[in-house]
Amino acid sequence: MLLEVKHLKKIFKTRFSKEETTALVDIDFGVEDGEYIAIMGESGSGKTTLLNILSTLEKPTQGQVLLNGKNITAIKEQDISAFRRDHLGFVFQDFNLLDTLSVRDNIYLPLVLSKEKVEVMKTRLDILAPQLHINELLEKQPFELSGGQKQRVAIARALISQPDLVLADEPTAALDFKNSENLLTLFEEINQSGQTIIMVTHSSLAASHAKRVLFIKDGVLYHQLYRGEKNSQDFAKEITLSMTAFLGGDENAEF
Ligand SMILES: Nc1ncnc2c1ncn2[C@@H]1O[C@H](COP(=O)(O)OP(=O)(O)OP(=O)(O)O)[C@@H](O)[C@H]1O
């Protein structure tokens, strides 16, 4: 098992009041190497909190997260950024590229910080750039790129460290329909080449490209669907029906 999420609980306490928010009640699941998982749930259900704990940005109140058997919730503060850089890849909804660096240097950045050899960086980018259709963009600055191009660069930056796990937070949220479809196709290809992906999304269309969908409500995982042999259109219908049945949502809504 690549990732074991064990009985996660997260209670937020505000500093100036006694009020507590239980964002995660008891979250328990495992992820095999090579899986592609979408996490869905209504606003406020705990998706971001879960992703932040998996990202080591946040510590749980109780429970553990094991990545390849190592408890990542117990990593010392001074070792966390190196751990994140070496083992996790991130794709955010707003791309998070640095405008002062070229596209190439943005992609190299995690490896530069890990003091990787230049030849290694070059070899890896030579493989990734054609796969992500960014060959022509490498000498540009991020502000010269379209949203879809920026997101492909962000994916290259996430993959260049050959992470154990890619974590994506609403990666299609800032993209139009065509660019979203392109990104989702890319994620499927990346997953088919062996990369494990966990993606948080509001969109049943986005989730329908994953192999498994976990539904979270009020801090509890209470339902999951496997795609199996279904195409993404049929799987999207099944996801929407589940959302309607279990979450009490509007069948036509993308929550
Ligand atoms: N830093 C924080 N301090 C206090 N409460 C928080 C904090 N972060 C999240 N919460 C609360 O925890 C609950 C879960 O929030 P979370 O952001 O994980 O939901 P979400 O499913 O990601 O929502 P959205 O889809 O709107 O991003 C909410 O009630 C939220 O108000």
Q: Would you call 92 helix, strand, or coil by DSSP?
A: coil
Ligand 1 center to residue 105 CA distance, Å?
Answer: 33
Q: What's 74's DSSP letter?
A: G
Closest residue by Cα to atom 25, ligand 1, is: 43
ipTM exceeding 0.90?
Answer: yes
pTM: 0.92
On average, the pLDDT of the chain sits at 92
Q: Which residue has the tokens 């799987």?
A: 235
Structural contact between residues 23 and 58, judged by C-beta atoms closer than 8 angstroms: no
Q: How confident is the model at residue 255 (pLDDT cuts 50, 70, 90)?
A: very low
Closest residue by Cα to atom 16, ligand 1, is: 46
Query: Which pLDDT score is estimated for 102?
Result: 97
Could you tell me if the CB of 49 is within 6 A of ligand 1? yes
The larger pLDDT score, comparing residue 21 to residue 247, is at: 21
Plot region of 68 (φ>0 → left; ψ -120 to 50 → alpha; else → beta) = left
Residues 6 or more apart whose CB falls under 8 angstroms from that of 20 comprise 11, 12, 13
pLDDT over 50 (residue 254) = no
Give the atom of ligand 1 at the shortest distance from the alpha carbon of 49. 18
Query: CA-based angle 182:193:234, to the nearest 5?
Result: 50
Residues 6 or more apart whose CB falls under 8 angstroms from that of 21 comprise 11, 12
| CA gap 8, 117 in Å, rounded | 38
Percent of the chain with pLDDT over 90: 86
Domain ranges of the chain: 23-97+165-248
Query: CA-based angle 248:252:255, to the nearest 5?
Result: 60
H-assigned helices in the chain? 47-54, 77-87, 103-113, 118-131, 147-159, 177-192, 204-207, 232-247
User: Among 8, 10, 11, 12, which is best to mutate for testing ligand 1, by the most ligand atoms less than 8 A from CB?
Assistant: 12
Query: Which pLDDT score is estimated for 94?
Result: 84
Q: Which residue has the tokens 């707003």?
A: 94
Tell me which CATH code domain 23-97+165-248 carries. Answer: 3.40.50.300
Could you tell me if the CB of 224 is within 6 A of ligand 1? no
| CA gap 249, 40 in Å, rounded | 12
Percent of the chain with pLDDT over 70: 96
- Mean pLDDT (whole number) for 207-212: 97
- Mean pLDDT (whole number) for 194-207: 95
Q: Which residues pair with 12 in a beta bridge?
A: 21
pLDDT over 80 (residue 238) = yes
Q: How many CA atoms lie within 13 A of 207 on its CB side?
A: 26
pLDDT over 80 (residue 252) = no
Could you tell me if the CB of 254 is within 6 A of ligand 1? no
Residues 6 or more apart whose CB falls under 8 angstroms from that of 231 comprise none
Q: How confident is the model at residue 37 (pLDDT cuts 50, 70, 90)?
A: very high
Tell me how far the alpha carbon of residue 190 is from its chain's centroid.
13
Query: Which pLDDT score is estimated for 247?
Result: 61
Structural contact between residues 94 and 154, judged by C-beta atoms closer than 8 angstroms: no
Could you tell me if the CB of 21 is within 6 A of ligand 1? yes
| CA gap 121, 134 in Å, rounded | 15
Q: How confident is the model at residue 248 (pLDDT cuts 50, 70, 90)?
A: low
Query: Which pLDDT score is estimated for 111?
Result: 94
Residues 6 or more apart whose CB falls under 8 angstroms from that of 11 comprise 20, 21, 22, 23, 61
Q: Would you call 67 helix, strand, or coil by DSSP?
A: strand
Could you tell me if the CB of 43 is within 6 A of ligand 1? yes
**pLDDT tens for residues 119-169?**
999 999 999 999 999 999 999 999 999 999 999 999 999 999 999 999 999
Tell me the residue length of the chain.
255
